Every structure is written in C-alpha cells, then in structure tokens.
Chain A
Amino acid sequence: MDNFNGIEPPMDTVGNIRVNNARIMCNNVFVHYSDKRAIDNLSLDIEAQKVTAFIGPSGCGKSTFLRCLNRMNDTIATCSVTGEILLDNQDIYAPEIDVVPLRARIGMVFQKANPFPKSIFDNVAYGPKIHGLAESKSHLENQVEEALRRAGLWEEVKDRLDQPGTGLSGGQQQRLCIARTIAVSPEIILMDEPCSALDPIATAKIEELIEELSEKYTIVIVTHSMQQAARVSHRTAYFHLGRLIEVGATKELFTSPHHKLTENYITGRFG
C-alpha cells in the first residue's frame, strides 16, 4: 500500500457503510491473489432495489470485489476470499452454499459483450433451459420475449431471433447479454463496466435500461466513467488500491466528498 499521493488512507471507510434495507452485507472482506492483497478489509452494504456504483482508478479492486459477490472468483485458482459476504443473512462463502443456484440469483453482465455463438433466441433461452424455468415451448418463448422486451431489444430483433447473437452490433450484443441475465429472473444484477466498449448512443440506451431495471432488481455497477456513476447510481463507493475509501449517496459524494483522495479522483487530479 504505497503511492497514496502523500495522502494517508483512512483506517475506516468514510461515510456510512450500512444502510437500512441491505440486500448484501459484506464484513471485513479480504481478497488475495496468491500473496498479493487485492481487497483490504472491506465492509459495505448493498442496498436493495437501488443502483450502487463502484468507482476508482484502474487496479483499485472494484472488479475483484464485484466478482466476489457472485463467487465468479472461484474460477481463478489462486484467488482466496476471507471475511463474510451475507446475502439475506446467509454467508455465500459458507461451505454448504451451492454456487450454481447462487449465480442464478445474482446475475452478471461482463465488460465485453459475450453472447454465446448461438442464435439470439437460444442465447436468451439458455438460462431458463438449464434451470428448468420453462414448462413448455410456448412458455419459453414468452420468457424470451419478456426478457428481450425488458432489455429494450425486442423491437430490433423480433424478426431475426434465429440469427446468431454474435452478428448484432456491440450495443445490441450487450443488451442481449443483459436480456440473457434477466431471463434467469435474478434478484441482483452485477455489471462489470458494461459500457466500456460501447459508443455514446449505445451507452445511453444501456444507462436508460439500468434505470428501468433498478425498479425491480438490485444492481451493482462497476464503472470507469464518473459521469455514468453520477447518472445511473443512487449510492457510490470509491475504491483506491484495494481499500474502500468513501461511500455515500451519489449526489453527496460527487458534490461534497469528505476524503481528500475521493476529491482528487472526482475532480480529475489522478486516476
């Protein structure tokens, strides 16, 4: 932990890490890649039915922490997570937890749109099929349509559902991935820089979509763009070199940051 630009990091996170109706509660989380510490003693609540944004410079651990929330870090052999991450008061890292239904409850949208090399229909139908959510073919079709509608993609693709999802434009692919995630009916959606590879128009559509989705889902979004965090999120957490520096209501954090590091970052002095 060096290079704090001469500013001491706080021992504890500035701002209120707890909220009233928390969906996820994280207590003293540490993440290590082999011997390298990626997340350092992090405690934070994720508020239900709200959008929480993680911001911070590259390598600050925001994506790592996001991937802890649905245990995607399990696929990395060298990664170890300690501490508590409670979903509805149940530690998701407890040995009796089965990671498969967990990931169905906590969906994820990735940085680079990664549709399966299958048809648009099959991409969205994949989740309902593996989880046995559809009772019949027509039920499945309804679910696919519903998910595509929610992702705002239905009008664009309804006539070519049998064409490959990889043939869509970048923004459409990302919305397809969101539709695919929604189709599993998750409770929480994690988004890892979902717009970093998209042009401004596609980005605007996704942001609009996030706003709509937040009425139904709890959303956590990692973003590089502070404007995006300001536009879409209700609560923002600022990460710096593996520590959670400051957290607060988005408006407040962007207008009157309490910690010097946060202020430097959002005024564009580094990062």
Chain B
Amino acid sequence: MDVRTLIFLVGVIGLSFYFLGRYRIVTQSAQAVQRPHSLLHYYGLYPFFLAIIPSCFIIAIMQVADGFVLSILIEQYLPADIRGGDEFNKTITLSRIENIASGVIFGSPEDWLIAAANKWLIWSERAQLTTTILAISSSILLGSYAYMKVNPGFRSRNAVEQIILVMMMFCSGVAILTTIGIIFSVIFESLRFFALVSPMEFLMGLTWNPQFEGAERAGSGQEGLATYGSVPLFAGTFLISAIALTVAVPVGLMAAIYLSEYASPRIRATVKPLMEILAGIPTVVYGFFAALTVAPLVRGAGESIGLTVASESALAAGLVMGIMIIPFVSSLSDDVINAVPQSLRDAALGLGSTRSEMTKQVVLPAALPGIVASVLLAVSRAVGETMIVVMAAGLAANLSANPLDAVTTVTAQIVTILVGDQEFESAKTLSAFALALTLIVITLVLNLIALQIVKKYREQYD
C-alpha cells in the first residue's frame, strides 16, 4: 500500500474512533447518574489522537529509514570489487539500482544490476508491507485502548491537553534541532577545510584568492597556489554593513519617531504600510537598482569632485542595502515606541516638556530594548545580504576601507564558490563552510554584546 493511501486509512480509523468515543460517552452518561468529567468532544479527541499520532510517526520514520536500510541490505548483492571499492562508485551503483528498480533504465544494464534491482524491489515491497501493518495495527490498538478508557469518570480533557502540550513541545524542539543541525553540518565541513588550510591562514591572511586551487593541494597535501585569507572578505562585509546602517538607522529611527509621536493617525495609517512595501521588494530588484542606477550616480558624483570611483563600489551597494533595511528599523521601532505607555507621555507633558524633550528623555529610553532589537535585526539582514553585493559591489577581494573601492563580502564569495559544478573535496569549496561558520560566530557574538548593552541601559516601565 502506498503512503498516501496509508495516511488516508489511518485518518479514517482516527475519525471513526472519534465518533465511537463520543458515542460511548453519550450512551454511558445517559445510563449513569454521573456527569462526564469533560466536554463530550474530548472523549472523541482522546482516541482520535492516540489512533493517528503514533501511526504517523511510524510512517514518517519508515519513510526516512527505508532507503538507508535498503542500501545496506542490497550491498551484499554487489560484486566484490564495487563493494570493496571507493564510496563514490558505490553510491553511483546504488542509485543506478534504485533507478532500474523504479523503471528508469538507461541502455542495457548488466545482469547483476538487474538481479540487484529485483532484490531491491522485493525488499522495498516488504518494507512497505511492514510499514502498513505497523501503522494500521498501532492505530487500531491504541485507538481501542483509548476507547476502552472512555467513561464518565475519565478525565479526558486533561489527557487531551497533555497530548497537545507534548505536540507543542515537539514543534518547538523541531526549530531548535534544525538550528543545531545546521550549525553542526557547517562545523563538520569547516573542520574538513581546516584540515587542508590552517585556521591561522584563514583568519589572519590578508589575501583571498581561491581561484587557482588545483588537485595537487586537495589530493597530495602539497601547497596549492590559492590563498585563503578571509580578512578582506570580512572587512568588506563590515564596510558595506556599516554604510548600510549609517543610512538605515537614522532614517528608520527618525521615521519611526515621526510616525508614532507626531503623525496624525491618518498619515500613520497610510505611510506605515507604504514603508513596509520596501521590505517586500525582492533583493534582486534592489541589486539591479544599485548596479544600474545608484552605482553610476555615485561614480558621476565622485568624479565631478575629482575622486576616482570604481564602477562597482562599496558605497553604492551600502546605500541601497541601507534603503532596503529602513523598514526593518522603522516598522519595529515604531511598534515599540507605540508600546510605551501613554501615562509616561502624560507625565512628561504635564511637567512642561516639549514633545521632543518627552521623546528624547522619556519615550526613547523606555523603548530602547526594542529599538536595539530592531537595529540588530537590521545588522543581521545587512551582514547576510548577498544579492545586492554580488550585483553592485563586485567580487574583487580588495582589502580597503575606502567606500569608493570595489570590495566583496563573505556571502557574495560563498555564492561564487558554490555556484555551478564543484568538486566537493577541494579546499575551495570547503572554504565556503568555513566562511559561513565564521559569519555565524561573529553575528552570534554581536547579538550577545547587544543583549548586554540592552540589559545595562534598559529602563523597565512595568
């Protein structure tokens, strides 16, 4: 039975248990004097949940596991030279077998391949059968168990709420586990990179030039021609982010103050959504806006006052990126400024403050944690932004603090490294993971520092 029918079947079983449970409690409480402990539908929901949740887990686990288990099982049918050979060949052979088993046949495969494919088919049918039997039987068994427990004295509301609590914990666990999973996968690939290139060279080196990576470095441990000094990339990232924040934070904050303290409700209702549209524009669009409109403007303006400006400059990219993150600063800050209680404003005004004194000395300090949070969000957007940089700032890894030069960023390099066909063993490809890891660590540290700052200066108003 295929998975779709199976899930459908489990659903039907679950629903029947829902109605059975409800019917049972209705008839039982009609006979008994005792009123049921919970509302009637809880007596249906309890068997329903027990019937479907464990079955769904079984189906999911079997789906994930079966390919893995089948590959191990099928290995014994491979010829000895492939079984003992390298990992790569084995993977290719296994996927050929899987293809043949599902009917995708290129040319005329060898006999042993067809035999293995037949085995594969048999095994996978068995796996499906096992899944079906396990899922259906657990559904029926647990459903009936729950059904038997239904009686007016049974506290089914508590039981159902317990199940829902566990489900919610599971969901929050998924988010955390995913984060941990991402970090670990990045760490493992980075470790492979640091086996080839020393961390000192990577963190301290001033030249980034992965283009001449040859097989000799990856294979034999010889020094390649490429250099992996990441300093220019991080310098570029910070230069562009700094320019972006210099644009976005003042503009966004001023806009937020205007919207929440000065604008009439009607203006606010119009302007705020309009500003939020900025956040909805795809970054690619910002990218060509930067490359085609802003970069030539910057260049023209620079040259008219006698400065040399590269045609792709950090300034152009940073300016456009700043525009992009204005709504993150303004919209969030506006929300937190609005959340400052009116009573504090009244107090300040009642003492004879002007609106601006009130805003500067009472409202903004009270809203500070939220404002810092919004700036942090803007920082992480700026550091992680890729498209604008690729299009407008260029890929030249110059180490320069001059915003008129072409620079590149970490994310832009990761993209260029990983785009196209890549040899996964080479230091060049692996360097992308090391870059990503360093970036994650840096943003994490920035977050921690900002949290400390907020803790120190916050003014609690509750």
Q: How far is the CA of A75 from the CA of B264 in the complex (A)?
A: 11
| Residue contact A103 to B349, C-beta cutoff 8 Å | yes
Q: How far is the CA of A164 from the CA of B458 in the complex (A)?
A: 11
CB proximity of A192 to chain B, nearest CB, Å: 10
Closest to A115 in B: B347
| Residue contact B352 to A110, C-beta cutoff 8 Å | no
Determine which of B265, B344, B349, B365 lies in contact with A75 in the assembled complex, contact meaning CB atoms within 8 Å. Answer: B349
Determine which of B347, B354, B365 lies in contact with A100 in the assembled complex, contact meaning CB atoms within 8 Å. Answer: B354
Does A265 make an interface contact (CB < 8 A)? no
Q: How far is the CA of A116 from the CA of B362 in the complex (A)?
A: 7
Determine which of B345, B349, B357, B459 lies in contact with A118 in the assembled complex, contact meaning CB atoms within 8 Å. Answer: B459
> Which B residues touch A181, using CB under 8 A?
350-351
| Residue contact B351 to A184, C-beta cutoff 8 Å | yes
Closest to A75 in B: B349
Q: How far is the CA of A144 from the CA of B368 in the complex (A)?
A: 26
Which of the segments A123-131, A203-211, A247-255 contacts the partner chain?
A123-131
> Which A residues touch B350, using CB under 8 A?
70, 72, 103, 107-108, 110, 181
Q: Tell me the number of A-to-B contacts counted with CB atoms below 8 Å.
A: 73
Interface positions, chain A 72-104, Cβ under 8 Å from B, are 72, 75, 77, 100-104
Report the interface size class on chain B: 20 to 34
Q: Known contacts A110-B347, A116-B362, A177-B347; decide if A130 and B460 are in contact (CB<8 Å).
A: no
Closest to A104 in B: B352
| Residue contact A116 to B352, C-beta cutoff 8 Å | no
For B351, B353, B362, B460, the residue with the greatest tally of chain A CB atoms inside 10 Å of its CB is B351
Report the interface size class on chain A: 20 to 34
| Residue contact B351 to A104, C-beta cutoff 8 Å | yes
| Residue contact B352 to A130, C-beta cutoff 8 Å | yes
Closest to A105 in B: B352
> Which B residues touch A59, using CB under 8 A?
none
Closest to B343 in A: A114
Query: Contact flags (1/0) for B420-462 with A, using CB distance below 8 Å?
Result: 0000000000000000000000000000000000000001111
> Which B residues touch A117, using CB under 8 A?
344, 365-366, 459-461
Q: How far is the CA of A126 from the CA of B351 in the complex (A)?
A: 9
Closest to B357 in A: A130
Does A224 make an interface contact (CB < 8 A)? no
> Which B residues touch A107, using CB under 8 A?
350-351
| Residue contact B353 to A100, C-beta cutoff 8 Å | yes
> Which A residues touch B346, using CB under 8 A?
72, 75, 108, 110, 114
Q: How far is the CA of A114 from the CA of B351 in the complex (A)?
A: 12
> Which B residues touch A75, using CB under 8 A?
345-346, 349
| Residue contact B459 to A103, C-beta cutoff 8 Å | no
Query: Contact flags (1/0) for A109-143 with B, using CB distance below 8 Å?
Result: 01010111110000000110011000000000000
> Which B residues touch A62, using CB under 8 A?
none
> Which A residues touch B365, using CB under 8 A?
117-118
| Residue contact B460 to A126, C-beta cutoff 8 Å | no
| Residue contact B344 to A131, C-beta cutoff 8 Å | no
| Residue contact B344 to A103, C-beta cutoff 8 Å | no
Does B162 make an interface contact (CB < 8 A)? no
**The 3 residue pairs across chains A and B that have the minimum distance between CB atoms:** A104-B352, A117-B459, A108-B350
**Interface CB pairs A-B, < 8 A, 21:** A72-B346, A72-B350, A75-B345, A75-B349, A100-B353, A100-B354, A101-B352, A110-B346, A110-B347, A110-B350, A114-B341, A116-B362, A116-B459, A117-B459, A117-B460, A117-B461, A126-B348, A127-B352, A130-B353, A131-B352, A181-B350
